[in-house]
Amino acid sequence: MRLFIKIIAIILMSFIFSIRVEPVSAGAAELSLRDMNGDTVNLSDFKGRVIILDFFATWCPPCKQEIPHFIELQKKYGGGKFIVIGISLSGASATKAFARKFGINYPVLIENGSAAAIYGPARSIPMTLIIDRNFKVVQKYIGYKSKEFFEGVIKPYLED
């Protein structure tokens, strides 16, 4: 039993220390990906809004925990000044079923390698970028974060 507790403690500690915050101050690069229906979506179409750009996979437990937070934030703040955009590392059909199951209410794009080439590979997921209304990447978060955390991050960028 003690060995089991030690193993769990090691796993939890490695998870806790894998969560990182990386401040960024670079312009957001143009990104064109297909959505779940095969339509092309350009990131620049959302210029002027605060964007949560969330890299996730359908099989990722922490990603599944964050999705309801993003749905709530999209309901509360979505519209003219804010949008959540998901970038799925899973295939289109798996993502479509996942989005339907979770009731995702924001655009979900399918990664084809170009997002990783632009924004760096998602070595750990979830990986979330915050893009301000000036189309600058201002924060990069790796690992699970709460709804309250993300709400606290975006609120100052929504004020003006």
State both tokens at 105.
């209410």
Return the SS3 of 39.
Answer: coil
Sign for the CA dihedral angle at 9, 21, 108, 52 comes to positive
Q: In which order are the strands placed within the sheet that holds 127-131? A: 20-27, 136-142, 127-131, 50-56, 82-88, 108-110, 32-35, 40-42
d(CA 130, CA 118): 15
Among the listed residues 63, 122, 127, 129, the single catalytic one is 63
Please say if 63 is a catalytic residue: yes
Q: Which positions are annotated as active-site residues? A: 63
